[in-house]
A and B are shown apart, each in its own frame.
Chain A
Amino acid sequence: MKAKISERQLNKYSKNMDNTISAKDRIIAWPRMGRIDIPLKALMLSLGAKIVIPPANSNEALELGVKNSIEGICLPYKLNLANYIMALEQGANTLMMFQAPGSCRLGNYTKMAQKTLKKMGYEFDMVIFDMYQSKMKQTLQAFWHVTRCINPFKYYKGFSLGFNKFFAIDEAQKLLFYTRPREIHKGDAEKCYNKWLNIIDNTNSISGAKALVKRIRKDFANIQINKNKYVPVVYLLGEFFVLLDPYVNQDIEKTLGESGIEVQRQIWFSEWLEGVLKPSFLNKKESHRQKCVRNARKYMKRAIGGESIETIGDAVYAAKNGVDGVIHILPFSCMPEIVSQNILNKVSKEEDIPILTLVLDEQTGKTGYITRIEAFVELVKRKKIMRNSEMKKKKEDLVNV
């Protein structure tokens, strides 16, 4: 009986693809999250599809999303829905979204969005990357369904362009976070980053895309920085969407970077993508998740969905490796992160590391938010100075003896 049910469910999911729209007429759109539009655009264009990119998340989008979704749902869904609506208004007729069952409410997003949009009177086809079965196969199938492209070279080109652009964007962001607190002329790093986003967007050859990471590293190395500056390091942990979208987290990295703190975000889209799409036997290095599970064992014995175990594992890792503080951000009523918020209290006490939790929702006021971050920054800095002076004293004592 149970086996039958699961089969039935699988069938229902695969039924979702319909052929009412021919491949030529398809205009494809997908929800926004940070800058994932750049690599996906390259991928879709090289497969020969027509695309629409909805405007980046903003107050306007959020208002639209809040208006059309239910009260209790989490913030990422509201923004996703707004992206869909905006894309449909711009003429899209095919929406793409991935869904992973068993994580949290994310698995229900597509189902709900479909219903809501149909109720609003839009006509469209939603293509879902279903992570129920083989992931790579599902992904390829979804792209084939949308574009009907049979040329394997185009797939190769598209995927290598896309992947390399993902890596390039993440590399640029990492360097930006490193350079921003240390730069001598304010705004240099930001300018360089924006310039590279443009270049990444305009790269259209495979060889060019592969060389991007190296070129970005070289260019960032040219920025004048103060290497001797005391820069406290803060880990940024929490929910996936909130971490990756600068509108939702109100560009917390910038706020922190400008007040002289190096941010190390622990969740990267390229890393996640690699983990999802790469077959497991090719992974020789310990993946981020495995590392977190190992570190979190004292506090958590089982994964409970979402990024909860990653949050705990990274916080423990941070404490053990001399990181000065942890900022944990989550959207309001996010289920897995509330569990980790409960656990982080204990981690903070036992591992002796300051942790700030920020809950974001559509009514978060920017001033209060910044005040809390500033207070935390002061605390982290003072703690760092105290620790350094203690170390110096110890060293002096040793020398004197």
Chain B
Amino acid sequence: MVRQENLKKIIGIPRAISYYNNYTFYYGFFKSLGIEIVLSDKTTTKLINEGSKYVVSDTCLPVKVFVGHVINLLNKGCNTVFVPSIQSTGYKINNCSKIRGLPEIIRNVINRPFKMIEPTLDKTEGFGIKEFCFETAHQLGIRDKKLINSAISSGREMYNRFLEMAKSGIPHGEAVENAVKGNYVLKKMSLVKPLSVVIMAHGYNLFDERISMNILNKLNKMNVKAYTCLDITRTDAINSIHELDEIQYWANELDLTGTAAYFMLNKKIDGIIALSAFGCGPDSLMVDEIQYHANERKIPMLHLNIDEHTGEAGFVTRLEAFTDMLERKKRKQLLQCNKPKNIEIAINKKQIQEPKVLTKVK
């Protein structure tokens, strides 16, 4: 007994799939359970190649990346890996099969001895967040109810803080870092940019700098404001999907259709950029859905498909062409109006209305 308590428990979290949306929750949860977290390295081309050796070629890029990260963790000497299976996030709102079966893929594809922590989140069957966390803790050998409950609430706290920070406009990576360190930073104000677009993409595609080819930075350099799924709340996303007369079918749908629908309906954006992995089943449908509504509203849309061979040069060219087109369109719109000066002022006023005070806790 004494030995077990003295042994420090370590869990490895791959930097892929659910890391990008839920890492702050996992961090708070595991830290207050007294478990140390090991993260895998950031995604590199080498890591992707390593991952794609293990799975069949038709598997989509994010799963290949996930396998790569698991291998990376194992190479680091971490023998316990956290592989959650997120089946559904609401009644009959299911996830993509590959994400649902992530533990099954990992178990059968990697032939090395290691322990896999594989809790299931399935709200259709009544396994909510609480059951998910309890299962995780049980698999790690922790059975103290009070401890687990307090761990859940501290995880939630950290997660909410991360969401607030991200919503104020802090980039994803920084927000995660600040939340993990316990800082609370809000962005004061943002510069007004001539163009704004919304990017519809899964968190694990968009915030991974290798997979998304750093699209957020590139747009920033091109002087384009990019809205992402972190800029809106969950309820907003659901409501705007309903407003378009659609229903939520996929668990990850809020990242894509929810975000795109919200900005399409409520804010004046100049264009939509869809970023999806090649062979992604849900994305092919969701992008089509938004394309349909964007066509009705005459909003230009760019669909970028990525896989492990995507060349950066072609990617940039397409982005540049798209932004150039948006610029030309906007200029034409402004010129067509009789009083261009007034309109410019109106636009500026609207966008500078929401400055927030910089506050720091701790």
User: Residues of A with Cβ closer than 8 Å to B?
Assistant: 1-2, 5-6, 8-9, 12-13, 70-74, 101-105, 107-108, 111-112, 115, 119, 132, 299-302, 304-306, 308, 332-336, 338-339, 341-343, 345-347, 357, 359
A334 nearest in chain B by CB position: B281
Comparing B16-24, B83-91, B182-190, B339-347, the segment that makes contact with chain A is B83-91
Within 8 A of A (CB), among B63-100: 85, 87-88, 90-92, 94, 96-98, 100
CB pairs A–B below 8 angstroms (9 shown): A9-B247, A72-B285, A299-B107, A336-B101, A339-B105, A343-B104, A343-B105, A345-B56, A345-B109
Q: Is the CB of B101 within 8 A of A300?
A: yes
Is there an interface contact between A2 and B288, defined as CB atoms closer than 8 Å?
Answer: no
B285 lies within 8 A of A105 (CB):
yes
Inter-subunit contact A338/B94 (CB<8 Å): no
Chain A residue with minimal CB distance to B246?
Answer: A111
Given A102-B94, A105-B281, A105-B282, decide whether A1 and B235 contact each other with a Cβ distance below 8 A. yes
Also in contact, A70 and B284, with CB within 8 A (given A2-B91, A302-B85, A341-B58)? yes
- Please name all residues of chain A whose beta carbon is closer than 8 Å to the beta carbon of B108 when the two chains form the complex: 299, 342-343, 345-347
> In the assembled complex, which residues on chain B have CB atoms less than 8 Å from the CB atom of A332?
58
CB pair A302 B87 closer than 8 Å: yes
Q: A103 contacts which chain B residues (CB < 8 A)? A: 94
Known: A70-B285, A101-B249. 4 other contacts (CB 8 A): A9-B248, A301-B104, A302-B87, A341-B56
A341 to B285, CA, bound (A): 23
Contacts A6-B91, A333-B58, A342-B105 given; does A104 touch B279 at CB 8 Å:
no
Closest chain-B Cβ to A323's Cβ sits at a distance in Å of 20
Q: Is the CB of B92 within 8 A of A102?
A: yes
A342 to B88, CA, bound (A): 22
**Please, how many angstroms separate the alpha-carbon atoms of A5 and B91 in the complex?**
9
Count residues of chain B with CB under 8 A from any CB of chain A: 43
Say whether B124 contacts A102, CB under 8 Å. Answer: yes
User: B91: nearest residue on chain A (CB-CB)?
Assistant: A6
Q: Pick the 5 closest A-B CB pairs, nearest first.
A: A72-B284, A304-B101, A335-B97, A304-B100, A336-B97
In the assembled complex, which residues on chain B have CB atoms less than 8 Å from the CB atom of A72? 279-281, 283-285, 287-288
Contact A305 B92 (CB under 8 A): no
Determine which of A8, A71, A108, A336 lies in contact with B242 in the assembled complex, contact meaning CB atoms within 8 Å: A8
Contact partner of A70 (CB less than 8 A), chosen from B94, B97, B288, is: B288
